[in-house]
Amino acid sequence: MKPFAKTAPWRARAPSDDKIRCPQPCSGPLSRVKAGMAVRIKALSAPPEVTRRLREIGLGEQQVIRLLIRQSNLICLVCNARLALSSQLAQMIIVEPLAASSPGMFPV
């Protein structure tokens, strides 16, 4: 029987705390991203007509965007253009951090 203290190979423990960390980047809604972070859109969870419009204005899957301002509305840099989004719409856009900006992307 294997001892319980051994960590599975797919789990990595941070030396400073006892939380389990995933080796892959985490994903979450755009509304939770800190201002100044660059992220990649992974999924759009809006209704079909809203999803279609988001793709038309450049917010499709795999698009890299930067969150400039996070207040009541969010302002993002998309293809060298600034785009304002409501916080409700930003909640429907699932993003993941880029490799260079991944630590501390989503505040707790």
Position 17 scores a pLDDT of 56
Other residues' Cβ atoms within 10 Å of the Cβ of residue 76: 22
| Unique residue bearing structure tokens 């900006």 | 101
Its pTM stands at 0.70
Q: Kind and range of the H or E element at 88?
A: helix 87-91
List of domains in the chain: 25-101 (2.30.30.90)
SS3 for 79?
Answer: coil
Tens digits of per-residue pLDDT, 46-72? 999 999 999 999 999 999 999 999 999
pLDDT of 89 higher than 80: yes
